[in-house]
Amino acid sequence: MNGTFVGMPAFPTAAREALADTQLRRNLAHATRTIRDKRAAVVAEVEDWEDLRLAGAGVKEAALRDLATHLETLEASLTRAGATVHWARDAEEACAIVAAVTKAHGADEVVKVKSMATAEIGLNEALEAEGIAAWETDLAELIVQLGEDLPSHILVPAIHRNRAEVREIFLRRMGAVGRPAPADLTDEPAVLAGAAREHLREKFLRAKVAVSGANFVVADTGTLVVVESEGNGRMCLTLPEVLVSVVGIEKVVATWSDLDPMLRLLPRSSTGERMNPYTSTWSGVTAGDGPQEVHVVLLDNGRTRALADDVGRQALRCIRCSACLNVCPVYERVGGHAYGSVYPGPIGAILNPLLNGVSDEQTASLPYASSLCGACFEVCPVRIDIPSVLVDQRAAVVDSHRDDRVPKAEAVAMKAAAWTFSDSRRLAWAEKASGLAGRVMGRFSRRTMPGGRAAAGRLPGPAAGWTGARDLPAPPAESFREWWDRTDGGRDGSAR
């Protein structure tokens, strides 16, 4: 029922289409500004925010440094607590485990807590192929699922929709999969949430199997932690008989007290709240209380690949807060779909290539989907230096093409630039040529730029991407270098 990102074009093409969607531009500009301002206000309240960021980064870094040990500890403590631990190398293995557990209980449906890991592995589609319906119960995920749409944000997957669109989706689609929306549905947020609550309730009460992810897993206690805002997660985690949690192996922290900085950083960074409304923790099975059969699927799916990358491994610290999306000027304008992944925005631009490699064109376009402005690094609660990883992943893309039989035009241009810049005499010749071109352009220019310089005309080739929308000053007749030579650095008095 959900859409799929398979076959998405590379970022520049997808972005071009998204930029023309006026409703999307308006919805995103409004939504990101609102969350951004909320976050800034609650972060400013915390005097030692920088220390907290360092602590959060430290907890995750320590866990990643000794990941194998922590995972073994986790498996032992989960098993001791009555949970069944599964290991999944990739999406296919993980989906097969969830399907097998569901079928073992004769169920043809599951209720789901919002989970990035299950979105990443395409669990809903895999279950559907096995004849199992997966019902999303997070409000925004429900909107995306009912709309047969794709998520466009990590925290608020329906951020690209406004309330009028949500009303229309509810009216059109709810009846087909359960309790219909009331005919007099308005676009008031409270009314829309009320309709979702009614629609979901019968699914909560009926479901035998629930599927979740986890925000954190504590190795020494075998505790899974889910952080959510709507209470739908709590319903899924407590009502059904069977609970299957799909957890990326990077979610592990060593001890219970490691949760302290994380649970303070996450709500302020993601929803802009001081404290999270519904924080559920459970360790295996508790007799007579909650699910009596608990499964934990520990998922690799590229994480060990990312871990092996010296620069990129810091991306595994990510706690999926979305702060980087909300401040990203690129994300704000193109939205999440253009990234072609459940992980959009700055973190997606590094996480996807790190998890999957850069061999396909779409993924290889993601590290370039940034102006390297650095706003993401500034807000990241676990101090992931996203700009540095972006540059490093660009190098990975370039290096993957070094053995191409026919080099790309860009590679040829960069080699030529490097040759020119490796010797100042070569650069001086290039500047003389550009000065001559500038004289010619100046003579034929029909445009004077504000301040008086002549504009170059429209340029051909890759430069057309510039002059299509931006005037470019014609190169000056004399470079700085030539001026310095001619006037002895302006000391001859004739200098201007």
Partner 1 sequence: MRVALQITCVNDAMFPDTGKAVVRLLRRLGVDVDFPQAQTCCGQPMVNTGYLDEAVPVVRTFVDAFAGYDAIVTPSGSCAGSARHQHSIVAERSGDPALVAAVAETAPRTYELSEFLVDVLGVTDVGAYFPHRVTYHPTCHSLRMLGVGDRPRQLLEAVRGIQLVDLPNATECCGFGGTFALKNADTSIAMGADKARHVRDTGAEVLVAGDNSCLMHVGGLLSRERAGVRVMHLAEVLAATEDSEGESSGPAVGERAGDLA
Return the residues of window 422-461 that contact partner 1 according to CB under 8 A.
422-424, 427, 430-431, 434, 438-439, 442-443, 445, 447-455
Alpha-carbon distance 303 to 318, whole Å? 12
To the nearest whole angstrom, how small is the minimum distance from the Cβ of residue 30 to partner 1? 14
Subset of residues 220 to 249 that bind partner 1, contact rule: CB under 8 A: none
* Position among 1, 19, 81, 133 found at the interface with partner 1 (CB under 8 A): 19
Sheet with 278-282: list strands edge to edge: 252-253, 216-218, 223-228, 278-282
Which residue is it, tokens 């866990």?
63
Q: Enter the tokens of residue 282.
A: 């459970």
**What residue type is 479 in one-letter code?**
S
Please give the residues from 144 up to 183 whose contact with partner 1 meets the rule CB under 8 A: none
Site for partner 1 in 381-400 (CB under 8 A): 387, 391, 393-399
Least distance in Å: CB of 394 to partner 1? 3
Q: Does 330 bind partner 1 (CB under 8 A)?
A: yes
Structural tokens at position 22:
């006026």
12 binds partner 1 (CB under 8 A): yes
Binding segment (CB under 8 A) for partner 1, from list 65-73, 80-88, 166-174, 483-491 = 483-491
Q: How far is the CB of 393 from partner 1 (least distance, A)?
A: 8
Q: CB 399: neighbour CB atoms within 10 A?
A: 10
The nearest distance, CB 183 to partner 1, in angstroms, is 40
**Residues 351-380 close enough to bind partner 1 by CB under 8 A:** 367-375, 377-378
Dist CA 472 CA 493 (whole Å) = 31
Site for partner 1 (CB under 8 A): which residue of 152, 212, 215, 479? 479
Using CB under 8 A, which of 469, 492, 493, 494 touches partner 1?
A: 469
Residue 406 and residue 403: Cα distance in Å, rounded? Answer: 9
Question: Which 3 state secondary structure label does DSSP give 297?
Answer: strand
Site for partner 1 contains 34 (CB under 8 A): no
Q: CB-wise, 197 or 453, nearer to partner 1?
A: 453
DSSP-derived secondary structure letter, 313: G
Q: Does 409 interact with partner 1 (rule: CB under 8 A)?
A: no
Element (H, E) at 55: helix 49-65
Question: Going residue by residue from 280 to 319, which x/- string records binding to partner 1, judged by CB under 8 A?
Answer: ----------------------------------------
Pairing of strands 84-88, 133-136: unpaired
Task: Decide: is 420 part of the binding site for partner 1 (CB under 8 A).
Answer: yes
Phi and psi at 134, nearest 5°, equal -110, 115
Taking a C-beta distance cutoff of 8 angstroms, is the pair 209, 242 a contact?
Answer: yes
Q: Is 333 a residue that touches partner 1 (CB under 8 A)?
A: yes
Q: Where are the beta strands (DSSP E) in 306-464?
A: 455-456
C-alpha span between 173 and 143 (Å, rounded): 10
The length of the chain in residues reads 496
Total site size for partner 1, rule CB under 8 A: 83
By CB under 8 A, name the one of 15, 91, 158, 227 that touches partner 1.
15
Tokens of 85: 């631990």
Residue 104 or 414 with smaller CB distance to partner 1: 414
